[in-house]
Amino acid sequence: MTRGGRTSPSSDPERRCIVTGETGPKAGLIRFVVGPDDTVVPDLGAKLPGRGIWVSAGRAALEKAVAKRMFSRGAKRQVTVPEGLVDTVEAGLLARVQGSIALARKAGEAICGYEKVKTALGGSRIAALLQATDGSERGKGKLWTPEGARWIGHLSADELGQAFGRERVIHAVVAAGTLGRRVVEDAAKLKGLRGTDGGDGASGKDIGNA
DSSP 56-104: ESSHHHHHHHHHTTHHHHHHTS--BPPTTHHHHHHHHHHHHHHHHHHHH
Percent of the chain predicted with pLDDT > 70: 88
pLDDT category at 195 given cuts 50, 70, 90 is: confident
pLDDT of residue 12: 73
Q: pLDDT for 70-108, tens place per residue?
A: 999 999 999 999 999 999 999 999 999 999 999 999 999
The whole-model pTM stands at 0.87
What's the whole-number average pLDDT of the chain?
Answer: 89
Dihedral in degrees, nearest 10, Cα atoms 149, 60, 54, 196: 10
Provide the 10 A C-beta neighbour count for residue 156.
Answer: 15
3-state secondary structure of 53: strand
DSSP-H helix ranges across the chain: 59-67, 70-75, 85-106, 114-121, 137-140, 157-164, 178-193
Domains along the chain with CATH numbers:
14-87 (3.30.1230.10), 100-204 (3.30.1330.30)
- In whole angstroms, what is the distance from residue 171 CA to residue 180 CA? 16
Residue 189: pLDDT over 50: yes
Provide the 10 A C-beta neighbour count for residue 141.
Answer: 13
Residue 2: pLDDT over 70: no
Question: Across the strands, what pairs with 173?
Answer: 111, 129
